């Protein structure tokens, strides 16, 4: 699956993510291999995951979110404040139906 999601799919995923609680909480150590491993497992299990980011300014949080996307192969659905929503389709057993858009 490519990471490219069309606007209808992004809107659908943002709506689903609205009520989600963060599954991954980034600690003071920041972006570690252990955190990426946990996120990888969460994406495999849930497909749509909310992550609470640690960091200073907006640019730092944007770079952390971009690094998470790069290291997990997920798509960034949105990043607001200290939270990022990531989506990665489970190739063996898809859980979330996406609109064709």
Inside any domain, residue 92: no
Tokens at 101, concatenated: 């858009």
Q: In whole angstroms, what is the distance from residue 74 CA to residue 42 CA?
A: 11
So what's the pLDDT on residue 99?
93
Inside any domain, residue 97: no
Please state the pTM of the whole predicted model: 0.93
Inside any domain, residue 69: yes
How many domains would you assign to the chain?
1
Q: What is the pLDDT of residues 50-81, one digit of tens each?
A: 999 997 899 999 999 999 999 999 999 999 99
34: domain CATH number? 3.30.110.60
Tokens at 36, concatenated: 């990426």
Inside any domain, residue 1: no
**Domain hosting residue 73, numbered range:** 7-87
């Amino acid at each position: 699956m490519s990471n490219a999601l069309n606007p209808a799919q992004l809107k659908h995923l943002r709506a689903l993510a609205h009520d989600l609680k963060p599954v991954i909480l980034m600690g003071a150590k920041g972006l570690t291999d252990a955190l990426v491993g946990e996120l990888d497992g969460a994406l495999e299990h849930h497909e749509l995951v909310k992550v609470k980011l640690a960091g200073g300014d907006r640019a730092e949080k944007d770079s952390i979110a971009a690094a998470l996307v790069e290291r997990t192969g997920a798509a960034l659905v949105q990043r607001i404040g200290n939270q990022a929503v990531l989506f990665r389709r489970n190739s063996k057993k898809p859980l979330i139906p996406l609109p064709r858009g």
